[in-house]
A and B are shown apart, each in its own frame.
Chain A
Amino acid sequence: MVLLEIQNITKIFGGLIALRDVSFDINRSEIVGLIGPNGAGKSTLFNIISGFHHPDKGRILFKDRQINGLQVDRIARMGIGRIFQEPTLFMQETIFENVLSGFHRHYREAAWKALLHTPAANREERIKKNKAIEILEFMELSALSGELAANLPHGRQRVLAIAIALASEPDLLLLDEPVTGMNPSETTTMIEKIRQIRGRGITVLIVEHDMRAVMSLCDRIVVLNLGVKLVEGTPDRIKSDERVIEAYLGKQVI
């Protein structure tokens, strides 16, 4: 069953064509990889899906509804979460507060009840805090929960970014280079975590340069080059595709 449909997306920055007529679908509970050399347009596509950019041509359908043109927060509330390629956290807050902020769209009790600390609002707050604790345990950040996000090393900041996104309980999670800056053992752990995230029923679209991670994780891979979709298929097919090898020629990553 299709969750996200990317239809003929074209995006032009000034004179630069960042994306040209890109189309592909993502099915529910899939892990789809989006790969390509630097500047291929991967992050640009993420920005279009999550509403930071609007496409010049084409449509994006999420759960059969057109989302391009909607605002970032509106798209988030429909169930799309993401992490950014650059470290993007609430740096001056603790790890725990960072994750708690992720629950924002899932509060059901009216705000005035929270202000008056009614029993129902207190209970809801307690439930959210327990869920935050659970997410921190799952992402192995519990020991750091009182630390400021700014004080974390890079690898841990990426883990925290995913923890925050998980708190927002998305149906589709966009991961822009989740293991970049991690050592091999951290990478292995993260690959396993992403599998478990999919196990929770979350569909994942992942951009990553680490080919070991991409090949072992993804059900399907889409290859972009210079804004154009080169090919799409299973990891095995992608590995042996001549056009892909050519695009990556000299890089010897595959």
Chain B
Amino acid sequence: MKLLNNGVNDRNSRLKLGAIIVALVALIILPLCIESDYIKHLLIMVCIGTILGMTFSMLYSTGLITLGAAAFYAVGAYTSTMLVTSAGLSFWAALPLTVIVAVVLSLGFGAIFVRNAGVAFVIITLIFVQVIVIAAGQVEFLGGWGGIMGIPRPDSLGPVEFTTKQDLYYLILAILLLIIIIYNALYSSRIGRAWRAIKLSPNLAGTLGINAYRYRLLAFVIGSTTAAVAGCFYAHYFQNITPGAFAGWLSIYVQLYAVLGGLEFYILGPAFGAVIMTFVPEYLRVVKEIEPIVTGVLLLIIILFFPGGILGTIKNPPDLSLKSFKSRLSRVKNRLSQGNKS
């Protein structure tokens, strides 16, 4: 009678939390050791990418694959921009209002979208993000295809200003940290358990009283709202937005972060993926021109040969030998016979 509780998983989640804390301390010190504003910009993009990747992973944790991760990123960027430039609100008033708008819109659209699972959901989200992009481009009021220029930086909060790359890096890092804390709480609660149940076996989840529709809708709303917050930051960081920035490859990239890092690591996976996908191309300037091709090939290689992603491959190195298979089998048998005796 060892393992009376799920000791394995308590240890795992503590390890996971430890890794996140170490990474965060490093991330706080990092910009102080860096001179280059360009590198700081890349760090900011890593944070945004991680947030978007995490929204993809949240839907994935319920068994849904979205190709529209950029849709509410755009909604957030445009909502906040309009609230600040047209309505004259401060960034700090626009942010919570953007959250409310995102919750309402994602609840409305999600209520229709998540009725469909599988390929249908993938296609719907893909179309949705294109519709958002075209809508933004066609509507004069939203700046048309030329977008909106001269969006102000976030207003200063008392003595804290948001003017340099370093300031803005700390702002997005704080946002990222908050989101990680919320997501971690969700995943380790019965909500996260219900999400995984729906993904692993919708039928069994149903017989346990879990309403797949409602739980998927919840994930859709939380993920979309998170993406909108990232979009809000993005608009005031770049200070200009165009519909094109949210089109095409962006949602694919977001998905790639999650897949590359490890699909089963809902927080660390996107973080690893975003770091690699942001920095590796920088040091492969040669391929810059054909980068989308390299990216596509990379995605294919990972899916085909390392389905666990980087973290999954580190955690369970693929050992395809017959010997390892047999030893695993005999270990299970041993435990079984122990179980019978006790």
Chain A residues close to B by CB (< 8 Å): 50-52, 71-74, 76-77, 81-82, 84, 88-94, 96-97, 100-102, 104-105, 107, 111, 114-117, 125, 129, 133, 140-147, 151-153, 156, 164-165, 167-168
| Known A-B contacts A142-B1, A168-B208; A94 and B6 likewise in contact (beta carbons under 8 Å) | yes
Which residues of A sit under 8 angstroms from B210, Cβ to Cβ?
73, 104-105
Chain B residues close to A by CB (< 8 Å): 1-9, 182, 185-186, 189-191, 193-194, 196-197, 200-201, 203-212, 328, 332, 335-336, 338-340, 342
Judging by beta carbons under 8 Å apart, are B206 and A72 in contact?
Answer: yes
Judging by beta carbons under 8 Å apart, are B207 and A141 in contact?
Answer: no
Q: Which residue of A lies closest to B340 (CB)?
A: A140
Q: Which residue of B lies closest to A113 (CB)?
A: B189
Judging by beta carbons under 8 Å apart, are A90 and B196 in contact?
Answer: yes
> What are 6 A-B interface contacts by the 8 Å CB criterion?
A93-B196, A96-B9, A97-B193, A105-B210, A146-B8, A146-B9
Which residues of B sit under 8 angstroms from A114, Cβ to Cβ?
189-191
Q: Which residue of B lies closest to A165 (CB)?
A: B207
A50–B206 Cα distance when bound, in Å, is 9
Judging by beta carbons under 8 Å apart, are B208 and A104 in contact?
Answer: yes
Q: Which residue of A lies closest to B204 (CB)?
A: A88
Which residues of A sit under 8 angstroms from B6, Cβ to Cβ?
94, 96-97, 100, 129, 145-146
Q: Which residue of B lies closest to A83 (CB)?
A: B207
List 5 additional contacts besides A90-B197, A116-B185, A142-B4; criterion CB under 8 Å.
A71-B206, A76-B206, A140-B340, A146-B7, A168-B209
Which residues of B sit under 8 angstroms from A101, Cβ to Cβ?
193-194, 196-197, 205, 208
Judging by beta carbons under 8 Å apart, are A89 and B207 in contact?
Answer: no
Judging by beta carbons under 8 Å apart, are B8 and A94 in contact?
Answer: yes
| Known A-B contacts A76-B209, A94-B8; A107 and B204 likewise in contact (beta carbons under 8 Å) | no
A101–B6 Cα distance when bound, in Å, is 13
A220–B210 Cα distance when bound, in Å, is 32
Which residues of B sit under 8 angstroms from A111, Cβ to Cβ?
189-191
Judging by beta carbons under 8 Å apart, are A76 and B207 in contact?
Answer: yes
Which residues of A sit under 8 angstroms from B5, Cβ to Cβ?
96, 129, 133, 145
Min CB distance A104 to B, Å, is 5
A145–B204 Cα distance when bound, in Å, is 19
6 shortest interchain CB distances as A-B pairs? A143-B339, A105-B209, A72-B206, A76-B209, A96-B6, A77-B209
Judging by beta carbons under 8 Å apart, are B8 and A104 in contact?
Answer: no
Judging by beta carbons under 8 Å apart, are B209 and A104 in contact?
Answer: yes
Min CB distance A110 to B, Å, is 11
Judging by beta carbons under 8 Å apart, are B339 and A102 in contact?
Answer: no
Judging by beta carbons under 8 Å apart, are A90 and B201 in contact?
Answer: yes
Which residues of A sit under 8 angstroms from B203, Cβ to Cβ?
52, 72, 84, 88
Judging by beta carbons under 8 Å apart, are A102 and B208 in contact?
Answer: yes
A61–B21 Cα distance when bound, in Å, is 54
Judging by beta carbons under 8 Å apart, are A151 and B332 in contact?
Answer: yes
Q: Which residue of A lies closest to B1 (CB)?
A: A142
Min CB distance B43 to A, Å, is 29
